[in-house]
Structure 1
Amino acid sequence: MSGAFSREWLLTDAPASRGQARAGQAYRSWLALKSNRLAMVGLCIIAALVLMAIFADVLAPYDPITGHLNTERLLPPSWKHLLGTDDLGRDIWSRIVYGSRLTLMVVTLVAVIATPVGLLVGTISGYFGGFVDTVLMRITDIFLAFPQLVLALAFVSALGPGIENAIIAISITSWPPYARLARAETLTIRNADFIAATQLQGASSLRIIWGHVVPLCLSSVVIRVTLDMAGIILVAAGLGFLGLGAQPPQPEWGAMIAEGRQFIIDHWWVATMPGIAIFLVALGFNFLGDGLRDVLDPRAQK
C-alpha cells in the first residue's frame, strides 16, 4: 500500500468499516497534534524521558549509587562529569538518568491506579444520581478540601516513608478531580436519546456505563491526567525532598535537591541540575496536555 493511497484511505469521508473509521479519526488527531509546535516539544521531552529510563544503563557513565568520596567530591561540571558530582562523589548526570526511571514509574502507576478509580466513581455517581451521587460526591469533596501535597503527606506519614507508599499516597489523593470531571460529562449524556434507546433494548446499567458512558468521558479524563502529570511529579519530588518518598541512596530527583540544598551557594549544580530535570519534564507534560486538549476536546476546537 503506497503512502498516497494510505493517506487517502485514512482521510476518506466514507469509511468502509468501523476499523477504517477509527484509524482515520486517529490519523486526523495525530495531524492536528503534529501541527501544534508546543505539543510536539512536550511529546519530544516525554519521549526523551522514556528513552532515558529504558537506556539508563547505556547513557549513565557511572554508578548512581557508589561514588569516589576522596577524589571526586563536589566537582563542578566538566567533560568527565557533565553535570558535576555531589557531596559523596557520585556523578549527578548518572543519578538523574537513573532517577528518570523512578519518575516514570511514579507517573505511570499513579495514572494506572487513580484514573480508573476516578472514572468509576464519577460515571456511577453521574449515571445513578440521587443518594448514590450525594454519598460519592461528598466523599470526593472531603478529599478535594485539602491540598494534594498536604493530604499526601498525611497518608505517607501513616504508611511510612518509601517510594511504594508515596505512590499509594499520591494515587489516593489524585482520583477526586477525575471523578468530578467524569460526573460532569456523565450528567450531560445520561439523558441522551442513544442512552434511552440502549435502555429500551434491555441493556444493564453496568453495560451502559462501561460501553457507552465511559468511552465518552475518557478523552476529557485523559487530557486532565496528562495535565496533572506535572503536579504529580512535583508532589513526588516534594515527598522525596522531605524524606518521605524514595529513600537514600535511590537517585530520586526531589531527594537529590534535598541533599544538595546545603551546598546551594558554593556548589550550585548539586541541587540545580535535578531541579532543571523536574522543570523540563513537568513543562513537557503541560505542553503535551495542552495539545491533547486542543485535539481531543471538541469544545476547544474552533
Structure 2
Amino acid sequence: MTTLSHWLTDDSPASRLQARLGRWYRMGLALWRNRLAMLGVAIVLALVILAVAAPYIASHDPLVQDLTRRLLPPSGDNWMGTDELGRDIWSRVVFGARITLVIVAMVAVLTAPIGLLLGAISGYLGGWIDRLIMGVTDIFLSMPKLILALALVAALGPGIENAGIAIAITSWPAYTRIARAETLTFKNAEFIAAMRLQGASTARIIFAHVLPLCLSSMIVRVTLDMAGIILTAAGLGFIGLGAQPPLPEWGAMIARGRSFILDQWWVATMPGFAIVIVSLGFCLLGDGLRDVLDPKSGDRH
C-alpha cells in the first residue's frame, strides 16, 4: 500500500495515466481531510442508498391508507408517526428520496452539459455568436428562477417530469456564464495557439481542451446548486405543481401537514427535516469540492 501511495504521489510521473491517477489520489486525500465535506458525502450517499433500497428500508407501504392509525405520533412501529390518512411518514420520506434524486439527476444531466457547451462556444468563438448566446442568457438571468419555473410548469402541466424540465430550463444560464468566463481566461493561451498551429479544428479544441478545463468549476457549481434545486422542487410540490398525489414528494407532504402543524407537528416537520438535511449535505460537499478543485479558494478560507 505504501509503495502504491509513493507511486501515486511521485513528483515525476512516468505516464499520463500515473499523472491522472496521482491527481485524483491527491484530491481524494484532501477531501478526506475535510470533515465537513465528508459529512456532505455521507449525507449524499445516504440519499442515494435510501432511493435505491427504498423497498427494503421502508417499514410500510408508503401509499397504503389506514384511517384507524391516522395522526399517530412517532413510535417504535411508526418511527416518524403517521399522516392524516394513516400512512407511515418514515416510509413516505424514504420513497420521497427517489423523487428528489430523480429531479436532481434530471437537472444535472440536462442543464450542466448544455450550459458548459454553450459557454465554451460563446467564450471561444466570440463575435456575434458570443453576443447572441449571452443575450439569451441575460434574458433568462433577468427573471427570477422560481417565478419562471412556476410559469413553465403551469404551461407544461403539473408533474415530476415537467417540474424537472422547468427547473432545468431556468438553471442553465448560470452554467453558461461560468463556462464562458473560464474559457476567456485561457482562450489565448500558448497551448491553444499551439493546437491551432498543429491544424486542430475549432471543434476539436473546444471538445478536447476547452471543455475539460471548465469541468472542475462546473462540478463545483452543480453540486452547490443542488440545494437550491431541491428547494425549488419542494416549492413546486408544496403548491401542487410538482409530483402529484399520492406520490410521496417532500414538498407536497409539508403542504398537507400544514393543517396539523400545532398539534401533530411531525406530519410537516419530518419531510422538512429531510429537505434541510439533504440540502445541507450538497452544500457541504460542494464547498469541499471547491476547496479541492480550486486550491486558491481554499487558501482564502
TM-score by length of 1: 0.98
Aligned equivalents of 1:14, 1:197: Cα separation in 2: 24
Which residue of structure 1 aligns with residue 198 of structure 2? 201
Which residue of structure 2 aligns with residue 11 of structure 1? 9
- TM-aligned CA deviation for residue 299 of structure 1: 2.9
Look up the SS of the partner of 1:76 in the other structure.
coil
Aligned equivalents of 1:147, 1:237: Cα separation in 2: 17
- TM-aligned CA deviation for residue 54 of structure 1: 1.1
Which residue of structure 2 aligns with residue 191 of structure 1? 188
Choose which of 20, 39, 42 in structure 2 pairs with 1:41.
Answer: 39
- Where in structure 2 are the equivalents of 1:95-106 lying within 5 Å? 95-106=92-103
Q: Which amino acid aligns with 2:196?
A: Q
- TM-aligned CA deviation for residue 4 of structure 1: 1.1
% same residue: 65
Which residue of structure 2 aligns with residue 227 of structure 1? 224
Look up the SS of the partner of 2:69 in the other structure.
coil
Look up the SS of the partner of 2:64 in the other structure.
coil
- TM-aligned CA deviation for residue 166 of structure 1: 0.4
Aligned equivalents of 1:251, 1:9: Cα separation in 2: 49
Aligned equivalents of 1:107, 1:217: Cα separation in 2: 21
Which residue of structure 2 aligns with residue 85 of structure 1? 82
Deviation string, structure 1 residues 112-166 (Cα, Å, up to 9, x no partner): 1000110011011100111111110010011111111111101111000000100
Count of residues paired in the alignment: 299
**Residue 111 of structure 2 corresponds to residue 108 of structure 1:** no
Aligned equivalents of 1:157, 1:199: Cα separation in 2: 48
Look up the SS of the partner of 1:79 in the other structure.
coil
Gaps of 5+ in 2: none
Which residue of structure 2 aligns with residue 150 of structure 1? 147
Aligned equivalents of 2:189, 2:268: Cα separation in 1: 54
Choose which of 171, 179, 188 in structure 2 pairs with 1:182.
Answer: 179
- TM-aligned CA deviation for residue 93 of structure 1: 0.1
Choose which of 279, 284, 289 in structure 2 pairs with 1:287.
Answer: 284
Which residue of structure 2 aligns with residue 160 of structure 1? 157
Which residue of structure 2 aligns with residue 274 of structure 1? 271
**Residue 77 of structure 2 corresponds to residue 67 of structure 1:** no
Displacement over 6 Å in runs of 4+: none
- TM-aligned CA deviation for residue 15 of structure 1: 1.2
Aligned equivalents of 2:11, 2:246: Cα separation in 1: 57
Which residue of structure 2 aligns with residue 263 of structure 1? 260
**Residue 124 of structure 2 corresponds to residue 127 of structure 1:** yes
Look up the SS of the partner of 1:274 in the other structure.
helix
Look up the SS of the partner of 1:66 in the other structure.
coil
Choose which of 51, 54, 66 in structure 1 pairs with 2:52.
Answer: 54
**Residue 209 of structure 2 corresponds to residue 212 of structure 1:** yes
- TM-aligned CA deviation for residue 301 of structure 1: 4.1
Choose which of 236, 240, 254 in structure 1 pairs with 2:237.
Answer: 240
Q: Which amino acid aligns with 2:32?
A: K
- TM-aligned CA deviation for residue 227 of structure 1: 0.1
Aligned equivalents of 1:12, 1:127: Cα separation in 2: 34
Deviation string, structure 1 residues 255-282 (Cα, Å, up to 9, x no partner): 1001111111111100000000000000
Look up the SS of the partner of 2:79 in the other structure.
coil
- TM-aligned CA deviation for residue 28 of structure 1: 0.1
TM-score by length of 2: 0.98
Aligned equivalents of 2:296, 2:203: Cα separation in 1: 28
